[in-house]
Amino acid sequence: MGRSFPRIAWVLCGLLVVPLLPEPVSAQAQFTVGSKKFTESVILGEMLAQAGREAGFAVHHQRELGGTRVLFDALRLGHIDAYPEYTGTLRFEVLASEGLADDAALARALALRGLAMSAPLGFNNSYALAMRADQATRLGIRRISDLARHRELVLGFSNEFMDREDGWPGLRDRYRLPQTARGLDHDLAYRALEAGDLDVLDVYATDAEIDYYGLTVLADDLGYFPEYRAVILHRADLPAAMLRGFAALAGRMDAAEMARLNARVKLGGEREGVVAADFLQSALGWQVRSEEAGFWRRLLTHGGQHLLLVALSLAAAIVVSIPLGILAAHRRRAGQIILGATGILQTIPALALLVVMIPLLGIGAAPAVAALFLYSLLPIVRNTAAGLTGIDPEVLESARAMGLPGATRLRRIELPLATATILAGIKTAAVINIGTATLAALVGAGGFGQPILSGIRLNDTGLILEGALPAAALAIAAQAGFEWAERRLLPRGLRAAGADAP
């Protein structure tokens, strides 16, 4: 490995300064609105962004940021300025421990956190349970309580609904339902219902799929679900001009109108920004413009974001992991601790690790890079240690007999002999990072995960492939790049010996 490897490590490490470079200063105030990863939230998020631009501000829409807790924490910490939310979600999920009696109490609780909510937008998007109409008629099921007579029914609910205070656990207890529910993505649940893999799913009252699939919505005869009035949740200190723009949306759309907007996107294939702009023009007379990027611009943007996430995390992991691997190889007790700790990190689910990072690092690239860095440690540490401990003891003994100091032996003999194995670990970490980085879109870091998430939500295979194929190509390119680096760094006499490296 000699002198070449440190130079490469320093070049990669240099990428770490990129986020620290100052951004161009704009005379226009910059604001960020967010949205959850379902179509209605994205449409409303586009309306908020366009309302802010109409008021004269530069507004960025951070789309599809995951679940409620991700958005609320990002708003509370100041990483976004506003997002569409629902009163029932705030009272019975986000602030459930405070036992808020009504929306007035909710407003007071938000004010203590430096937050505020707009007047309702005009519709109640309550949770409900639904099933295929023919099956509901055949079994005589019209109310949620009727489900208790049919233990054989398969229930599938969105992952968030499975754990919410106002979701499945309380619903099961209130209605004394005997079934066991499974959790899955909300958009995939409709397809599972159509295929006959599910009998009952949770729906939002404004879902376009309810009419499209001809579903029967079961009556909430025990009144379990509260009202979920759509509102704009925002920082209390936003400029008055922006708040006036938000206030103009209050009371402008009923549930039927929201369902039609959802249908234009989910069933008609239109872009959320276009649908939002059309509504604002017809309802408020605003001549707003949708900022929808074309295919090549999206590809370049997502590719650059993805590559940066992988490069930053991998560079940091190389700089940290190789010294840790050296320590693990030369200090047996320390090595057990190091390999054990990095192994434990590898077992933490990627999405959980990303969400845990948000209170510490906010949303965007920072939590994604940190999580990917932690996932990169094990393969590089393990392979570095394995490469060094696998060197023929007679070679090391000869070096000691020559009187070479430990540092010289490491630099001139041990690291060159372990190069193939170390590079194999780096290559493994790179491929893992490229795949795992697709989840970074859930915390606003972009990358190829963004079109994949949108494609799953919209049942658009083209969008899914727009993210999946470039990510796969990037993984292949990374593997080829490290094979080229191995040919450059590894002396010819050692290549054959390193061919079988793990």
User: Residue 117 pairs with which residues in a beta bridge?
Assistant: 233
Mean pLDDT of 47-65: 91
The token pair that represents 462 in the structure block? 């083209």
Among the residue ranges 310-314, 333-337, 353-357, 452-456, the one predicted with the least confidence is 353-357
DSSP 3: T
93 plus 142 within the same structural domain: no
First to last CA, the chain: 17
Place of tokens 């690291």: 415
Place of tokens 């009952």: 200
Secondary structure of 418-451 as H, E, C letters: HHHHHHHHHHHHHHHHHHHHHHHHHHCCCCCHHH
The verdict on residue 307 lying in a domain is: yes
With contact defined as beta carbons under 8 Å apart, do 350 and 432 qualify? no
The token pair that represents 14 in the structure block? 């240099």
CATH of the domain at 64: 3.40.190.10
Given a cut of 80, is residue 484 above it in pLDDT?
A: yes
The verdict on residue 30 lying in a domain is: no
105 plus 242 within the same structural domain: yes
151 plus 214 within the same structural domain: yes
Q: Is the dihedral of CA 434, 435, 436, 441 positive or negative?
A: positive
Given a cut of 60, is residue 495 above it in pLDDT?
A: no
DSSP 490: S
pLDDT in tens, 261-278: 999 999 998 999 999 999
With contact defined as beta carbons under 8 Å apart, do 35 and 44 qualify? yes
Report the alpha-carbon distance of residue 205 to residue 256 in Å, rounded.
9
Given a cut of 50, is residue 130 above it in pLDDT?
A: yes
276 plus 214 within the same structural domain: no
User: Residue 115 pairs with which residues in a beta bridge?
Assistant: 235
Mean pLDDT of 220-228: 93
* CA 406 to chain CA mean position, Å: 45
Q: Specify the pLDDT at position 236.
A: 95
Q: Specify the pLDDT at position 9.
A: 45
The verdict on residue 21 lying in a domain is: no
Report the alpha-carbon distance of residue 149 to residue 375 in Å, rounded.
47
Q: How many residues does the chain have?
A: 502
493 plus 387 within the same structural domain: yes
| pLDDT confidence bin for 459, thresholds 50/70/90 | confident
Q: Specify the pLDDT at position 492.
A: 63
The verdict on residue 223 lying in a domain is: no
DSSP string, 339-383: HHHHHHHHHS-HHHHHHHHHHHH-SSHHHHHHHHHHHHHHHHHHH
pLDDT in tens, 138-186: 999 999 999 999 999 999 998 889 988 788 999 999 999 999 999 988 8
The verdict on residue 165 lying in a domain is: yes
DSSP 412: I
Residue after which a domain boundary falls, among 239, 255, 284: 284
Residue after which a domain boundary falls, among 195, 218, 241: 218
108 plus 137 within the same structural domain: no
Report the alpha-carbon distance of residue 161 to residue 171 in Å, rounded.
10
197 plus 83 within the same structural domain: no
Residue after which a domain boundary falls, among 284, 303, 320: 284
What is the value of pTM for the model shown? 0.80
332 plus 456 within the same structural domain: yes
Q: Specify the pLDDT at position 502.
A: 47
Which residue segment(s) compose the domain that 243 sits in?
A: 35-122+228-284
Q: Specify the pLDDT at position 164.
A: 82
Average pLDDT, the chain: 87
How many structural domains comprise the chain? 3
Output helix, strand, coil percentages for the chain, rounded to the nearest 5.
65, 10, 25
Q: Specify the pLDDT at position 315.
A: 94
With contact defined as beta carbons under 8 Å apart, do 420 and 497 qualify? yes
136 plus 117 within the same structural domain: no
Q: Specify the pLDDT at position 381.
A: 95
Element (H, E) at 10: helix 4-14
Phi-psi region of 419 (alpha: psi -120 to 50; beta: other; left: phi over 0): alpha
Contacts of 403 (CB under 8 A, 6+ apart): none
Closest CA to 158 of 52, 255, 50, 36: 36
CATH of the domain at 212: 3.40.190.120
Q: Specify the pLDDT at position 397.
A: 77
Q: Specify the pLDDT at position 91.
A: 92
With contact defined as beta carbons under 8 Å apart, do 458 and 265 qualify? yes
Contacts of 78 (CB under 8 A, 6+ apart): 235
The verdict on residue 289 lying in a domain is: no
Report the alpha-carbon distance of residue 214 to residue 473 in Å, rounded.
41
Amino acid at 312: L
Given a cut of 70, is residue 285 above it in pLDDT?
A: yes
186 plus 106 within the same structural domain: no
CATH of the domain at 405: 1.10.3720.10
102 plus 82 within the same structural domain: yes
With contact defined as beta carbons under 8 Å apart, do 447 and 441 qualify? yes
Report the alpha-carbon distance of residue 136 to residue 282 in Å, rounded.
38
DSSP string, 50-104: HHHHHTT-EEEEE----SHHHHHHHHHTTS-SEEEEEHHHIIIIITGGG---SHH
56 plus 12 within the same structural domain: no
pLDDT in tens, 6-46: 444 444 444 444 443 334 434 455 899 999 988 999 999 99
CA distances from residue 245 to 49, 117, 192, 249, 472 in whole angstroms, order as listed: 10, 13, 40, 7, 43
Mean pLDDT of 245-266: 93
DSSP string, 280-339: HHHHH----------HHHHHHHHHHHHHHHHHHHHHHHHHHHHHHHHHHHH-HHHHHHHH
Please give the radius of gyration of the chain, using alpha carbons only, rounded to the nearest integer: 27
